[in-house]
Amino acid sequence: MKKFLTVFGIVHWGLIGFLIYYSIFVLKINWSWILFGFLVYLVFFFLVIVRIIRHYYHFPIPSIMTQVIDNPLRRKFIQNPEIIADRMQLEPGMNIVEIGPGKGHYTIAVAKRILPDGKVYAVDISEKVINLLKRKIEKERITNIIPQIENAHAFSFSNESIDRVFAIACLPEIPEPVKVLKECYRILKPMGLVSLCELFIDPDYPRRKTEMKWARKAGFELEQGFGNWFAYQLNFRKKFNKF
Ligand SMILES: C[S@@+](CC[C@H](N)C(=O)[O-])C[C@H]1O[C@@H](n2cnc3c(N)ncnc32)[C@H](O)[C@@H]1O
């Protein structure tokens, strides 16, 4: 499958490049129309073609994509780190796990709120993502974020040691989301929260109903929902102690 996707990628983008070249230099179409057509195609590509591919084949998105997804426009108007952190019922001293921290803007917003003794364990399966985050927090002299490579299907954290788990545009990318949520349930203290945020333009975007079904299967109860179909945040509570 990996080989197929690589060949598909090369042929597909090669063809797009050729079409742009042909339109500019042979058909002499105005470049603004070409740019418009290209943007429309990009939207179609990410919302339709990528979704179809990912429906059949799950893989961690390349670390470069995490840089693209986390842009200033999204942070200002769609998924603002401060607003998302405000909804997590945070208190100083908490131990938090973030799955898939990306560039770390959400990690930092949460880490500020749990000072002086709280810690955010920012976990990702990708070494590249973790190394980029390490460099960022070193540069910004942040000491209560601990980036570590982990597979969310099997955390290294002990039972009932964590107050909050959060994941932003991340859980549906992971092949077995219910297994991940069961792991969240295991590591959360009784009455702990898992907070999940999703964004429509994410090729793995699940409907609220789907995410609520996953969480129920893992033992969680829905406590709060924020946002709309385009960008939402759901807080699930661990009410019962199974361990
Ligand atoms: C779309 S990115 C999240 C970006 C970031 N949260 C944001 O909103 O900007 C999803 C991340 O999940 C990570 N990931 C995928 N599968 C994982 C797994 N099994 N365990 C931990 N992290 C995983 C990927 O490496 C990737 O960095």
In angstroms, the CA 45 to CA 201 distance is 11
Q: Whole-angstrom Cα distance, residue 84 to residue 88?
A: 7
Q: Establish whether residue 66 lines the binding site of ligand 1, counting it when its CB lies within 6 angstroms of any ligand atom.
A: yes
Closest ligand 1 atom to the C-alpha of 204? Answer: 1
Q: What is the pLDDT of residue 70?
A: 80
Whole-number Å distance, alpha carbon 198 to ligand 1 midpoint, is 12
Give residue 185 CA to ligand 1 midpoint distance, Å. 19
Q: Write the CB contacts of 215 (distance below 8 Å, at least 6 apart in sequence).
A: 181, 194, 196, 222, 234, 236
Helix or strand holding residue 27 (H, E):
none
CA of 157 to the centre of ligand 1 (A): 18
Task: Enter the tokens of residue 220.
Answer: 């969680």
CA of 63 to the centre of ligand 1 (A): 9
Query: Domain spans of the chain?
Result: 2-59, 76-238
At residue 201, the pLDDT reads 83
Given pLDDT bands bounded at 50, 70 and 90, which one contains residue 164?
very high
* pLDDT tens sequence across 60-96: 666 666 666 788 989 999 999 999 999 999 999 999 9
User: 76-238 maps to which CATH number?
Assistant: 3.40.50.150
* Single pTM value for the model: 0.85
Judge contact between 103 and 70, C-beta under 8 A.
yes
**Ligand 1 close to Cβ of residue 95 (< 6 A):** no
Q: Tell me the angle at which helices 2-25 and 31-44 cross, rounded to the nearest 10 degrees.
A: 160
Q: In terms of DSSP bridges, do strands 145-149 and 119-124 run parallel, antiparallel, or are they unpaired?
A: parallel
